[in-house]
């Protein structure tokens, strides 16, 4: 049986990816220190599955993986300090810890005797500097030129840690694939993201109330988590994806945040007034990946539409987290 290790494995993408790898006959070890991950019923159910093991470790500690074996086929590195609050309040820590986390994983990967792939999860934020300078093509291919925003801006810390991580991986001599997720959403992603946040507020707002929405004219293409995980899993197992940088997301349709709010309102099923608020500072006006390379190399394109994805996401949150309306 093949073996996979997923850092940040208790989180949103990690838990979904673990299930996908189990279906592909992997034994899966989830590494997490639960600084962000959550021990909920879904995780406990996953841990009951044959072939799944939880390693509660802090990868910032040099010996975190020293007792693990040397027979992993696949390592997926998802662990990172993320989130606007962390980036704005502790930018140096974001830079330092994200790089250290990756160095620990690459050191561990070098010990593996028959490693087929390391997958490093980067971010669509690496395109932010180029977008700010109006030099970014849309839809955005992986080959787009990358420019840096001002280095003294706190938000730069996260994208810089990921961009440096890409360079470390691609120059490591290891079999690597870099993925850049774009607006992936779905069950278990937490509430500090636009779709679950809007769903929660619409769920808890009385009928006839107001749903306030920032950045209504900003546009995104949203990718449901099952599609994103399928792309990542296929990229991890395809020899054609070794050494490649791949967007993970959906190319079309681009949707206004205001239209997302309307879909959320319709999904929740309440008559709510949508009130437009100013754009969120630092939020890019558009984010739209060119998915032609990923689709060609993995044979998979996103298939879950936004309405269906929001419906599935709402069903999960309403059942587990939202207050009874």
| Three-state secondary structure of the chain | CEEEEEECCCCHHHHHHHHHHHHCCEEEEEEECCCCCCCCHHHHHHHCCCCEEEEECCCCCCCCCCCCCCCCCEEEECCCCCCHHHHHHCHHHHHHHHHHHHHHHHHHHHCCCCCCEEEEECCHHHHHHHHHCCCCCCCECCCCCCCCCCCCCCCHHHHHHHHHHHHHHHCCCCCEEEEEECCEECCCCCCCCHHHHHHHHHHHCCCCCEEEECCCCCEECCEEHHHHHHHHHHHHHCHHHCCCEEEECCCCCCEEHHHHHHHHHHHHCCCCEEEECCCCCCCCCEECECCHHHHHHHCCCCCCCHHHHHHHHHHHHHHHCCCCC
User: In the predicted model, is pLDDT for residue 36 greater than 90?
Assistant: no
CB atoms within 10 A of CB 36: 17
Please choose, from the candidates 169, 171, 189, the residue with its C-alpha nearest in 3D space to the C-alpha of residue 179: 169
Task: Specify the higher pLDDT residue, 37 or 240.
Answer: 240
Which strand ranges, in their side-by-side order, compose the sheet holding 245-248? 52-56, 26-32, 2-7, 74-77, 117-121, 176-181, 245-248
User: In the predicted model, is pLDDT for residue 324 greater than 70?
Assistant: no
User: In the predicted model, is pLDDT for residue 255 greater than 80?
Assistant: yes
Cα–Cα distance for residue pair 57/165, rounded to 1 Å: 21
Distances in Å between the alpha carbon of 298 and those of 179, 232, 242, 246? 12, 9, 12, 10
User: In the predicted model, is pLDDT for residue 322 greater than 60?
Assistant: yes
User: In the predicted model, is pLDDT for residue 3 greater than 50?
Assistant: yes
User: pLDDT tens across 37-80, in order?
Assistant: 778 999 999 999 999 999 999 999 999 999 999 999 999 999 99
Task: Give the domains, in start order, of the chain with CATH numbers.
Answer: 2-182+225-250+288-303 (3.40.50.720)
Please report how many Cα atoms fall inside a 13 Å half-sphere around the Cα of residue 181, on the Cβ side: 21
User: pLDDT tens across 289-311, in order?
Assistant: 999 999 999 999 999 999 999 99
Query: Strands 245-248 and 176-181: what pairing?
Result: parallel
User: In the predicted model, is pLDDT for residue 85 greater than 90?
Assistant: no
Please report how many Cα atoms fall inside a 13 Å half-sphere around the Cα of residue 121, on the Cβ side: 27
Q: Which residues of 148-177 are buried (b: 16+ CB within 10 A; e: fewer)?
A: bbeeeebbbbbbbbbbebbebbbebebbbb
Percent of the chain with pLDDT over 70: 99
Cα–Cα distance for residue pair 84/82, rounded to 1 Å: 7
Q: What pLDDT was estimated at residue 42?
A: 95
The mean pLDDT of 236-264, rounded to a whole number, is: 98
Query: Six-digit token pair at 102?
Result: 């990756």
Query: Strands 2-7 and 26-32: what pairing?
Result: parallel
Mean pLDDT of the chain: 95
pLDDT band at 220 (very low <50, low <70, confident <90, very high): very high
| Lowest mean per-residue pLDDT among 128-132, 212-216, 217-221 | 128-132
Cα–Cα distance for residue pair 59/103, rounded to 1 Å: 10
User: In the predicted model, is pLDDT for residue 235 greater than 60?
Assistant: yes
Q: What pLDDT was estimated at residue 230?
A: 98
User: In the predicted model, is pLDDT for residue 325 greater than 80?
Assistant: no
User: In the predicted model, is pLDDT for residue 272 greater than 60?
Assistant: yes
Q: What pLDDT was estimated at residue 68?
A: 96
pLDDT band at 137 (very low <50, low <70, confident <90, very high): very high
The mean pLDDT of 161-190, rounded to a whole number, is: 97
pLDDT band at 178 (very low <50, low <70, confident <90, very high): very high
């Amino acid at each position: 049986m093949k073996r996979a290790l997923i850092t940040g494995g208790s989180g949103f993408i990690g838990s979904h990816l673990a299930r996908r790898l189990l279906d592909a006959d992997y034994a899966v070890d989830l590494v997490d220190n639960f600084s962000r991950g959550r021990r909920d019923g879904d995780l406990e159910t996953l841990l009951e599955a044959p072939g799944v093991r939880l390693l509660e470790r802090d990868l910032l500690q040099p010996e975190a993986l020293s007792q693990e074996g040397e027979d992993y086929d696949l390592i997926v590195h998802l662990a990172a300090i993320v989130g606007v609050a962390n980036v704005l309040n502790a930018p140096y820590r974001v830079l330092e810890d994200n790089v250290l986390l990756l160095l620990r994983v690459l050191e561990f990967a070098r010990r593996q005797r028959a490693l087929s792939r390391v997958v490093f999860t980067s971010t669509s934020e690496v395109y932010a500097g180029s977008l700010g300078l109006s030099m970014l093509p849309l839809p955005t291919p992986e080959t787009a030129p990358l420019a840096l925003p001002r280095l003294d801006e706190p938000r730069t810390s996260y994208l810089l840690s990921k961009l440096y991580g890409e360079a470390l991986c691609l120059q490591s001599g290891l079999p690597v694939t870099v993925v850049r997720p774009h607006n992936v959403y779905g069950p278990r992603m937490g509430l500090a993201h636009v779709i679950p946040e809007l769903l929660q507020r619409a769920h808890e707002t009385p009928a006839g109330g107001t749903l306030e929405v920032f950045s209504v004219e900003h546009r995104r293409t949203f990718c449901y988590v099952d599609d994103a995980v399928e792309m990542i899993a296929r990229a991890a197992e395809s020899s054609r994806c070794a050494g490649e940088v791949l967007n993970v997301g959906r190319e079309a349709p681009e949707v206004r945040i205001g239209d997302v709010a309307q879909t959320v309102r319709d999904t929740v099923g309440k008559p709510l007034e949508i009130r437009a608020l100013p754009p969120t500072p630092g939020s890019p006006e558009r984010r739209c990946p060119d998915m032609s390379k990923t689709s060609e190399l993995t044979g998979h394109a996103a298939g879950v539409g936004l309405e269906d994805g929001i419906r599935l996401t709402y069903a999960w949150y309403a059942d587990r987290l939202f207050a009874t309306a």
